[in-house]
Amino acid sequence: MKIQLLSPAGDIHRNSTGIFKRSLRYAPLTLTTLAALVPDELQAEITLQDEGVEPLDLDFSADLVGITAITGTSLRAYEIADELRSRGHTVVLGGVHPTLMPEEAADHADALVTGYAETSWPQLLRDFADGRLAPHYALPFDRQLRGLPIARRDMLKQRRYATVNSIEATRGCPHKCEFCVVPTAWHGTYARRPVEEVIAELQTFAGRHAVFIDLSPVEDVAYAKSLYRAMIPLKIRWVGLATTRLAEDEELLKLAAQSGCRGVLIGFESVDQQTLNGTRKHFHQADRYAEYVKRLHDHGIGIQGCFVFGFDDEDESVFERTVEFVDRAKIDLPRYAVVTPFPATPLYRRLQAEGRLLHRKWSLYDVEHVVFEPKRMTPERLQAGLQWSWEQSYSWSSIGHRLTGAPWSILPLWLSTNLGYRFFARHLPDKTQCVYRDPAMPAVAAPELVQL
Ligand code: SF4
């Protein structure tokens, strides 16, 4: 059996390496994990293509094509799926967007995989081999992540990525931030892999570095501590994501640093506590953000800080206040986005009920395009404020000032990523100039709200 696995990219990120020869991206785990899940007895020939790092070649021979999609890439995925089906291929769609919008995705596929694919994807392949492919495969949401196969990193074009050493220790998130797709798509589950399995996978890596893609790995503090303790003898350097909980617990922070942590992405979201409370991220304390940044720096850990604009409590002063905070706190790598109501999330349903969605052109749901009517400014002012913030924080003077706070041992990493983001900031207006509005706004049924 020949299997082709494709990951389409949205317009804003397609084949973009900026000023560098290779992408600053780490290799995503989806395709390599799907490849690892293919049952041996099928003796399949598998090919992977990731449009995030190179153009797709659709002139292939395959018995089955698997395409993964998030909301921002879903229209591209449908376009590719329709084209391949018209050529006679059997196409399977999966990923977050088909999980959120299965009825919509079903129009473009011979079969869907929704939710986690660990058992449903192998089952689908066996059924296909037996000539009895079903239209929908769904795995019950399981909190166990025991016995995951080791992702097939060997199948990637490694030189295209900053690293292929991406790994997960936990999946999902126990929090319920209103705007976040994670609790909705994964039904509020939070699963942890056995520590010994994570360590065993890390030991297979070429090079002593890793990227943890877990969205919220420190929410189970005892688990995180035992993982970090077990990682210390490996002597690797790693980056990953965290909530501010990492900086609140001195022992956890110390263990993270000792285990090789050199950088974390933190979704600070807003410098206003009222906004954090309103969006259910009340467990973050805005007035302690600067203190947390300093603590992380003191342990040799740099910070990619993410901020989101357009929450209901925010007026236009938010841009200046955020940029000023980012400079003052010396956040190594700021990243700005606009509030994006991904389908089926509580935020989507609320904005839909309030008649504030501008359109459902999913390709623009990429967190850099305004797709809704903010409460205290126009969509155009929000889009312009986003752009202004990117430009301010990636001016030479801001980069120079912010990086005086970065730990010396990791300065080259943060300098190169700042240069990459400066390129992104300067070219963003090429893609986000106008705010799109759909005058018709067809009345489609709202997705079911998942009760958490
Ligand atoms: S924004 Fe972060 S903390 Fe909040 S639900 Fe999503 S993953 Fe969890």
Residues 176 and 224 in one domain: yes
**Backbone angles phi and psi of 60, in degrees to 5:** -130, 165
At residue 188, the pLDDT reads: 79
- The pLDDT value recorded for residue 445 is 47
CATH number of the CATH domain containing 277: 3.20.20.70
> What CATH number is associated with residue 127?
3.40.50.2300
In the chain, pLDDT over 70 holds for what percent of residues?
Answer: 94
| 451, part of any domain | no
**343 and 230 co-located in one domain:** yes
Q: What is the pLDDT of residues 213-253, one digit of tens each?
A: 998 889 999 999 999 999 999 999 999 999 999 999 999 99
In a domain, 380, yes or no: yes
Residue 4, ligand 1, Cβ within 6 A: no
Same domain, 60 and 186: no
Residue 129 lies in a domain: yes
Model confidence at 363: pLDDT above 80: yes
Q: What is the mean pLDDT of the chain?
A: 92
382 assigned to some structural domain: yes
What is the pTM for the complete model shown?
0.90
The protein residue whose alpha carbon is closest to atom 6 in ligand 1 is 180
Give whole-number Cα distances, 137 to 49, 75, 120, 126, 353, in Å: 23, 21, 6, 12, 31
Q: Are residues 203 and 130 in the same domain?
A: no
Q: For CA atoms 53, 153, 149, 196, give the dihedral sign.
A: negative
Total number of domains constituting the chain = 2
For residue 173, the CA-to-ligand 1 centroid distance in Å is 6
Per DSSP, the residues of 272-291 read: -HHHHHHTT-TTS-GGGHHH
Q: Which of 88, 123, 138 is the last residue of a domain?
A: 138
Contacts of 427 (CB under 8 A, 6+ apart): 18
352 and 258 both lie in a single domain: yes
Read off the pLDDT of residues 339-348 as tens digits, 9 standing for 90 and up: 999 999 999 9
Q: Are residues 265 and 130 in the same domain?
A: no
Q: Which atom of ligand 1 is nearest to the CA of 216?
A: 7
Whole-angstrom distance, CA of residue 110 vs CA of residue 207: 40
- Residue 337 near residue 367, CB atoms below 8 Å: yes
Whether 339 and 422 map to the same domain: the answer is: yes
In this structure, the answer to whether residues 126 and 173 fall within a common structural domain is no
Tell me: do 262 and 343 sit in the same domain.
Answer: yes
From the CA of 369, how far away is ligand 1's center (Å)? 21
The answer to whether residues 115 and 197 belong to one domain is no
Provide the residue range defining the domain that includes 239. Answer: 165-431
| For range 324-336, the mean pLDDT | 97
Residue 444 lies in a domain: no
Same domain, 132 and 174: no
